[in-house]
Structure 1
Amino acid sequence: MSDVVIPEAERRAVGKFLRRMLPILVLMLLVNQMDRTNVGFVQDELRADVGVSATAYGLGAGLFFIGYALFEVPSNMLLERFGARVWLTRIMITWGAVIVAMCFIHNVWMFYALRFLLGVAEAGFFPGVLLYFTQWLPDSSRGRASAIFLGGSATAYIVTGPVTGALLELHGAGGIAGWRWMFALEGGFSILVGFVAGFFLVSRIQDARWLTQEEKDALGEAVARDKEARDRAPRTSRLKLVLHPQVALLTAVFFAMALTGYAITFWLPSLVDDIGGLSPFQVGLLTAVPWICAVIAMYTMAHFTDRAPDRRPYLAIALVLSAVGTFLATLGSPWFGLAALTLAAVGGKCAATLFWPMAQSGLDLRIAAPGLALVNSIGNLGGFVSPTLFGYLQDTTGSTNGGLYTLSAASVLAVCGVAFIRRSRTAAPVQAAQTAATRA
C-alpha cells in the first residue's frame, strides 16, 4: 500500500494545531491526573483530623469513578453542543472548585460527596479532548496528537508526588493544616489553568486566526472526509456489545489491570509513609520512583513490540510481573514493598501499552470503536472497586495484604484470559479508541 500524500496546506495546519493547542491540553491533563489522585497522600491526615477510616477513605477514593462513569456521556454531548473552548474550560474550572472545597472537609459524608462531585465535574474531559481531536485533525494525524497528549498522563504520575509532598510541607502555616493547603493551592491552580485555556482553545477550524484561509479549507475538508467515513459505519447496540464474547473478554482483562493500577495510585503513598522518618516531600519523591521506572519500561516495551506479529505473549508477561509484584509487596519491610510495587507498576504500565493496540486489532471493524469505548468505561470501574476493597480489608484485618493477594489473583486470571483474545491480521483504523484509557 502506498503512503498517503498529505497536501502541504493541511500539513501546515496540523503543525500549527500541535504547536498551539497541544501544550495547554497536555498541561490540563497533567493537572487532571494530579487532582484526582492527590487524596492518596493525605489518608493519614484525613483519619486524624476528620475521622475518615480506611474503609471510608477507600470508598471515597472510589466514588470518584462512579460520578465520572455516570456523567461521561452527557458531558460529551454537551461538549458537541457548546464547543470545546467553553466546555473543556468549564470542566476544568468546576473540578478545581471542587478540589478547593475539599480543604473545608469536616466529616466523612462531606468527603464522600466531594469525591463524587469531583468525578461529575471531571466527567468527559479525557474523551472530550479525543472528540476535540476528531473535530480538528484527520485520522492520519490524530494518532500523533493522542500520543503527545497521553504523555501528560505519564508525566503526571511522576510529578504528583513531589509537588503534593512539597505543598504538605506548608503544614502549620497560618495555623492551617498542610493537607488543607494542598487542596486549596492545587485546586486554585486548576481554576487558573482553566481560565488560561479559555483564551487559548479554539472550537472551530474556521475561527482560528492563526490559520490562513487556505489552511482552514484544507484541514476542514480532510476532517469532513473522515467524518463522512465514520458516519457510514454501522451502529451496534450497547447490549449486543456487552454480550459480544471478545468485548466481554477484553473488558474483564482491562478491569483486572485497572484494579492494580488504581490500588497502587491510591495506596502507594501510605506504604511509603510506613518506612518512617520521612518528610512529606521525601514521601512524595519516593512515590515517583515506581512511576519513573514504569514510564521508562512502557516506552521501551512499546519500541520493541510495535512490529510484533502477536502481542499476547508480551501482555501475558507484563501481567505476570504485575501479579508477582503485588504478591511480593505482602512480604518484608516497607522498602521491600516499595520495590515490589515498582515491579507491579512496571507490569501494569507495560500491559496498558500492549493491551489497547492489541484490543483494537482483535475486534471486528464493525464494532471496534464502540466496543473499545465500552471496554474503557466498564473496565475503569476497577477504580471504584480497588480502593474500596483495600480500605475495607485494612479496617477489618489491620492489613492491606488481603487486597494485594486479590490483585495478584486478578492479574493471574487476566493472564489466562489473554490466551483467548482474538488475534487479527489487520488493525482497525480507530485512533481515538486505540488511545482511550492508556492513562489508567
Structure 2
Amino acid sequence: MTSLTGSTDSHSPASPSQTPKATPLSSAVAKIMRRVIPLFAIMMMCNQLNRSNIGYAESHLEADLGIGATAYGLGAGLFFIAYFIFEVPSNLLMKRFGPKIWLSRICVSWGIVSACMLFAQGPTSFYVLRFLLGMAEAGFVPAVLYYLATWLPNAYRGRANARYAVGALVAFSLSGPLSGPLLGMDGTLGLRGWQWMFLVEGAMSVAIGVFAFFRLDSRIEDASWLTADEKRELTAAIDAEDAAYLNRHGDDRPTFWSVLRDPKILLFVFVYFSVQMSIYANTFWLPSIVRDIKGTNDVTVGLLSSVPWVFAMVAMFLLARIGDRTGRRKPLLIGALVAAAVGSYLAAVASPWLALVMLTVAAMGFKSISPIFWPIVQRTVHPMVIGVAIAVINSIANLGGFVAPYGFGVVKQQTGSTQWGLIGLAVFSLIAALASFLIRENEDENPGLSRKKESAKAAPQVPAPQLRN
C-alpha cells in the first residue's frame, strides 16, 4: 500500500531505505483522515448541492414562476448577503456549543430550508428562501477549517482541505446527472420537476446532518476512537506549533477589530473574493452557458456541466499534494489564478464547444485554490484568533458570490449573452494573481496581527511524520 507521500509499506525487515514504523501521531492523523474528513466531504457535497442546484432549475423557474435572468441572479446572490451577515456570529456560537453540535445543526438547517424551496410562488418568496438558506449555511466552512486547525498539524492541512473540498467538486460533478432525472419527474404526485429536485436534495442534507451528530467529536480528548498515546502526541504536536508561533511573534491576543484592519487579512479577502466570484458565476450560470450548445436538453446539460468539475478535482488534489510536500504554496496560488483568468477570457470569445473546454481550464484554476490558500492563512494568522480570521475572510470574500451571479444576470438581461461577465471574471482573476505577489509566504517574515517582532529564538519545529493509508 502506498502512502500519500509516495512511500510503500513492507513487511520485510527494516532497512534504512524503508518507511519507519508508524508513530502514534501518524496513526492518529490517518484515523482522522479516514473517519472525519470523508464526512466533511459529504457534508460539503450537500452544502454545494443545495446552494447551487437552482442553476439547473433556472429555465423552469422562469417558465413556472416568472423569475427572469435579473431576478434569478439577485436571488442567487442574496444567499451570500445572509451568509456575510451571519458568518461571524455563527462561528462564535460554534465555539460556545462545539463543532459537533454546531456543524450538525447547520447541515440539518440548510437541508430543511432547501427542501422548502418547493413552496416558492414567485420572485419574492424565492428571494426570502434564498436569504434563509444563506443564514442556515453561514459558518459551515469556517467551522470545518477551525476543526482542521485544532485537530491536525499544519503539515497535513493542505491534504485534509483538498479531501474535504472535493465534496464541492463531487457536488458540481453529480448535480447535473442527479438534478436532470429529478427535473424529469415533472407531474409525479402533482409536483413539478424542480420541486422534486429541491425536496430530495434537501432531505439528503437533513439525513447527513443527523448522522454527523453521532459521528463527530468536538475535542481530541473526546474521541474514543483514538488511543491515549495518539491523543497525547496529536495534542502535543499542535500545541508545540502554537507555542513556537507565539515564541516568535509574542502572545498579545489580537482584537476582533485588529483582524478587520490588518492589511494581510484585507489582501487575503481580496484574493479569495475574486476566487469566489469565479466559483459562483460558473456554479449558477454554467448550465445556461452549456445550453448554448445546439441539441442539448436537461440531461445532456447536466452531464456536460459536470465536465469542468471532474477535471478540477484532479487538479485540486495534485496542487494540494505539491503544496504540502514543498511548503511553497504561493507560486501555485498565482499559477492557478492565471489559469482561471486565461480560461475565463478565452471562454468568452470562443464557440460554445470550445468555451466549455476553456471553462474547464478556468475551473482547474479557481477550484484548486482552496487547499492552497487556507494553509497559507493558517500559517500567518495568530492562532488565538484563527477562527475569527477565517470567518472574516470567508464571509467578506463570499460576497463575490452575490456580485458575480447578480452581475451575470444583469449582463445577460441587457445583452442576451454572458460574454462580458466572463471577461470581467478574467480581469478580477488576473488582478488577484498580481496581488498575490504581495503575500509573504515565509511565516518567519510575517509580523501578523498586532504582533510584536521578537528577537527571541524560535522554538524548534515539530517534524511531520509520514501519513500512511
Tell me whether the two structures share a fold, i.e. TM-score over 0.5: yes
Q: Which residue of 1 aligns with 2:406?
A: 388
Q: Is residue 53 from structure 1 mapped to residue 71 from structure 2 by the alignment?
A: no
Which residue of 2 is the match for residue 27 of structure 1? Answer: 42
Match of 2:253 in 1: 235
The answer on whether the counterparts of 1:260 and 1:348 sit within 8 Å (CA) in structure 2 is yes
SS at the partner of 2:117? Answer: helix
Change in 2 beyond 3 A, CA 1:218/1:360? closer
Q: Write the distance in 2 (CA, Å) between the matches of 1:400 and 1:10.
A: 50
Task: Using the TM superposition, give the Cα deviation of residue 424 of structure 1 relative to its aligned residue in structure 2, in angstroms.
Answer: 3.2
> What do residues 219-277 of structure 1 show as CA deviations (whole Å, max 9, x unaligned)?
55666666777887433345444444443333323322221221111100111123243
Moved more, 255-264 or 153-162: 153-162
Relative to structure 1, is the Cα distance of residues 25 and 411 closer, same or farther in structure 2, using a 3 angstrom cutoff? closer
Shift in alpha-carbon separation, 1:91–1:324, aligned structure 2, 3 A = same
Match of 2:342 in 1: 324
In the TM superposition, residue 161 of structure 1 has moved relative to its aligned partner by: 2.1
Distance in 1 (alpha carbons) for counterparts of 2:308 and 2:66:
30
What are the within-5 Å matches in structure 2 for residues 177-192 of structure 1?
Answer: 177-192=192-207
* Equivalent position SS for 1:329: helix
State the AA in 2 paired with 1:270.
Answer: S
Report the alpha carbon displacement of residue 40 of structure 1 after superposing the two structures with TM: 1.1
Contact kept in structure 2, 1:67 and 1:120, CA below 8 Å: yes
- Which residue is 1:436 aligned to? none
For the 8 Å contact 2:309–2:360, the answer to whether it is kept is: yes
Instruction: Write out per-residue CA displacement over residues 1-45 of structure 1, whole angstroms, 9 at most, x where no aligned residue.
Output: xxxx99944554444443333332221121111111111111111
- Cα distance change on mapping 1:222 and 1:71 into 2, 3 Å: same
1:387 is displaced (CA, Å) by 0.5
Tell whether the 8 Å contact from 1:247 to 1:372 is kept in structure 2 after alignment.
Answer: no
Matched, 1:257 2:239: no
Q: Deviations over 1:88-109 (max 9, x none)?
A: 2211111110011001111111
Name the stretch that deviates more: 369-378 or 172-181: 369-378
Does the C-alpha gap of structure 1 residues 126 and 252 become closer, same or farther in structure 2, counting only changes over 3 Å? closer
Partner AA of 2:417 in structure 1 = S
How far apart, CA to CA, are the structure 1 residues paired with 2:183 and 2:281? 22
- d(CA) in 2 for partners of 1:397, 1:10: 58
1:269 maps to which residue? Answer: 287
For residue 108 of structure 2, what is the amino acid of its counterpart?
I
SS at match of 1:210: coil
> Which of 147, 153, 162 pairs up with 1:132?
147
CA distance in 1: counterparts of 2:186 and 2:302, whole angstroms: 15
Distance in structure 2 (CA, Å) of the matches to 1:85 and 1:368: 20
Offset from partner CA, 1:98-153 (integer Å, 9 cap, x none): 01100111111111111111111111112212333455445565555434322323
Q: Is the 8 A contact 1:360 1:368 kept in 2?
A: no
Q: What RMSD in Å do the two structures reach over aligned CA positions?
A: 3.4
- Cα distance in 2 for partners of 1:358, 1:223 equals 16
- Range moving further from structure 2, 184-193 or 397-406: 397-406
Q: Structure 2 stretches of 5 or more lacking a match? A: 1-19, 449-469
- Range moving further from structure 2, 326-335 or 217-226: 217-226
- Give the CA deviation at 1:405: 2.4
CA distance in 2, matches of 1:137, 1:305: 16
Matches within 5 A, 1:12-411: 12-137=27-152, 142=157, 144-212=159-227, 215-216=230-231, 219=234, 233-302=251-320, 315-352=333-370, 354-356=372-374, 369=386, 374-411=392-429
CA displacement at 1:334 relative to structure 2 = 2.3
Unpaired stretches in structure 1, ≥5 consecutive residues: 431-440
Following the alignment from structure 2 to structure 1, what is the Cα–Cα distance between the partners of residues 222 and 436?
46
| Residue 315 of structure 1, CA deviation | 4.3
Change in Cα spacing, 1:410 to 1:397, as seen in structure 2 (3 Å) is same
CA separation in 1, counterparts of 2:434 and 2:23? 48
Aligned partners of 1:352, 1:126: CA distance in 2, in Å? Answer: 11
Q: Tell me the distance in 1 between the aligned counterparts of 2:374 and 2:43.
A: 23
Shift of 1:204: 4.0
Counterpart code for 2:132? L
Indicate the SS of the match to 1:326.
helix
CA distance in structure 2 between the partners assigned to 1:274 and 1:204 by the alignment: 50
Identify if the C-alpha distance between structure 1 residues 77 and 302 changes in structure 2 by more than 3 Å, giving closer, same or farther. closer
Does structure 2 conserve the Cα–Cα contact (< 8 Å) formed by 1:246 and 1:422?
no
When structure 1 is superposed on structure 2, of 208-217 and 69-78 the one drifting more is 208-217
- Partner residue of 1:418 out of 426, 436, 440: 436
Q: Match of 2:301, as an amino acid?
A: V
Q: Is the 8 A contact 1:259 1:385 kept in 2?
A: yes
Aligned partner of 2:9 in structure 1 is none
The verdict on how the C-alpha distance between 1:315 and 1:76 changes in structure 2, with shifts beyond 3 A counting, is: closer
Q: What is the CA–CA distance in structure 2 between the aligned matches of 1:277 and 1:398, rounded to whole Å? A: 19
Cα deviation code 1:174-220 (max 9, x no counterpart): 33211111000001111111222222223344444434555555555
Q: Secondary structure in 2 aligned to 1:275?
A: coil
Which shifted more, 417-426 or 87-96? 417-426
